[in-house]
Amino acid sequence: MAALAGMLRGRGYRVAGSDAGVYPPMSTFLKEQEIPAYDGYDGAHLDPPPDLVVVGNAISRGNAEAEAVLERRLRYASLPEVLKAFFIRGKTSVVVAGTHGKTTTSSMIAWALASAGRDPGFMIGGIPENFGQGYRAGAGPHFVSEGDEYDTAFFDKGPKFLHYLPDVVVVNAVEFDHADIYRDLGEIQVAFARLVNLIPRNGLLVLCADEPGAMGLGSRAFCPVQTFGLTPAATWTARDLRFGTEETGFTALREGGKFGLFSVPLRGEHNVRNALATLTVCAHLGLTASEVREGLSTFRGVRRRLTVRGIAGEVTVFDDFAKHPTEIRETLRGLRLSFPDRRIWAVFEPATATARRAAFQGDYPPAFDPADRVVIAPVFRPDKAPEGERLRMDQLVQDIAARGRPVARPLSIDAIVDLVAGEAQKGDLVICMSNGGFGGIHEKLLTALKNRHGA
């Protein structure tokens, strides 16, 4: 929503919005764009009546402003509808979908196109560091969208990505998520099958060969299919992976032949896959190997994707958006590959609609295996999950401990800060994982570490 607000603001429209809480980096972004963000919902925010009300998928019936829109017969639309009508139609639409990797992969593709002078439009659910914002209208012929499988709006329960007029679709993975709207993996598979069914015959479907859930979509396509991954059978694959502390290098192969040497300033095998997806799409769109190489090597990542928030007392504090067990595992594995001899603290806050539930009760414990110490924070807003479906925290801690990982479950953010700052040693890596603000833990932790160890 913040990205769309910025795009419309750039077109000269007057834009304002409401939310129950806006967290960095989006709150910072809105302030920089001079877009007013009301705290809370009130029908008075719609006076005088706007020309169009864009309704986000977090809004439900009973919301004061939603009710005012309906009662006053104001013109309204969903975010995907507005994005399609104002920015996507008439361009080659690249939709990056999947349970994981959407934000980073769509950002990589957008940056590779931009660095090659193609001036793409894009809409991304995070802030790519190269651009400083998650959106751009773009004057070029391409538009890159992060394709979310979450529902569109209270008046349209279909997935957002069905609105994006896809020409090229990337699917990184298809796993269970969003337990608040999908009953099981089968329903999610149906949503992705519907997306694939929208690709025209002259389009392209790009699938991760390492993910069975993604590969199952290939038989449904009416267009050509290319695959990417670390399995040698993929159309695009990689060998000779080199993991450094700041970047990862690899040799890319296309249909078994060497395509070139590449590096990306990110960590982990999952980011090699993201880079291979970028190669696949960009080659299809006409970029040369050298153009993509330049884009990947200068890609600076996305905020809140293993972002260093600071170093205090020679302890590095990271911020990461990981919330799904696969994301946690791959992020921690990436750190371990780059820092095999450092001690890693994994500090996790269950904060999403799915993380609050027991859907991943058995999947979370092994996800923390690459860490040396695990700290589980209190569930954020546990009341948002039905009582009988909630994540069983005592069981989670017990299961992590049974795998040989020292684990703690402090009952507050301040208690977590005291624990980590009190026990962290020089050279330790502390990664705080949450999709929310996490109670400002990063700055609190850095302050506590400075007080204990010095700058």
Q: How far is CA 409 from CA 315, 374, 406, in A?
A: 21, 9, 11
- Identify the pLDDT of residue 52: 98
List CB contacts of 196: < 8 A, sequence separation 6 or more: 169, 171, 205, 217, 220, 221
Question: Cis before residue 48, ω within 30 degrees of 0?
Answer: yes
| Contact present, 448 and 362 (Cβ < 8 Å) | no
Give the CB-side neighbour count of residue 417, counting CA atoms within 13 A.
Answer: 18
- Identify the pLDDT of residue 25: 65
- Identify the pLDDT of residue 455: 66
β-bridge partners, 431: 318, 346
| Contact present, 271 and 248 (Cβ < 8 Å) | yes
Bridge-based pairing of strands 248-254 and 257-264 is antiparallel
Sequential pLDDT tens for the chain (455 residues): 888 898 899 899 999 999 987 777 677 878 888 999 998 999 999 999 999 999 999 899 999 999 999 999 999 999 999 999 999 999 999 999 999 899 999 999 999 999 999 999 999 988 899 998 889 999 999 999 999 999 999 999 999 999 999 999 999 999 888 888 898 999 999 999 999 999 999 999 999 999 999 999 999 999 999 999 999 999 999 999 999 988 999 999 999 999 999 999 999 999 999 999 999 999 999 999 999 999 999 999 898 888 899 999 899 999 998 889 999 999 999 999 999 999 999 999 999 888 889 888 999 999 999 999 999 999 888 888 888 889 999 999 999 999 999 999 999 999 999 999 999 999 999 999 998 889 899 999 999 999 887 66
- Domains, the chain, ordered by start: 2-74 (3.40.50.720), 80-297 (3.40.1190.10), 307-453 (3.90.190.20)
List CB contacts of 176: < 8 A, sequence separation 6 or more: 99, 182, 184, 185, 188, 359
Structure tokens at 263: 């590096």
End-to-end Cα distance, the chain: 38
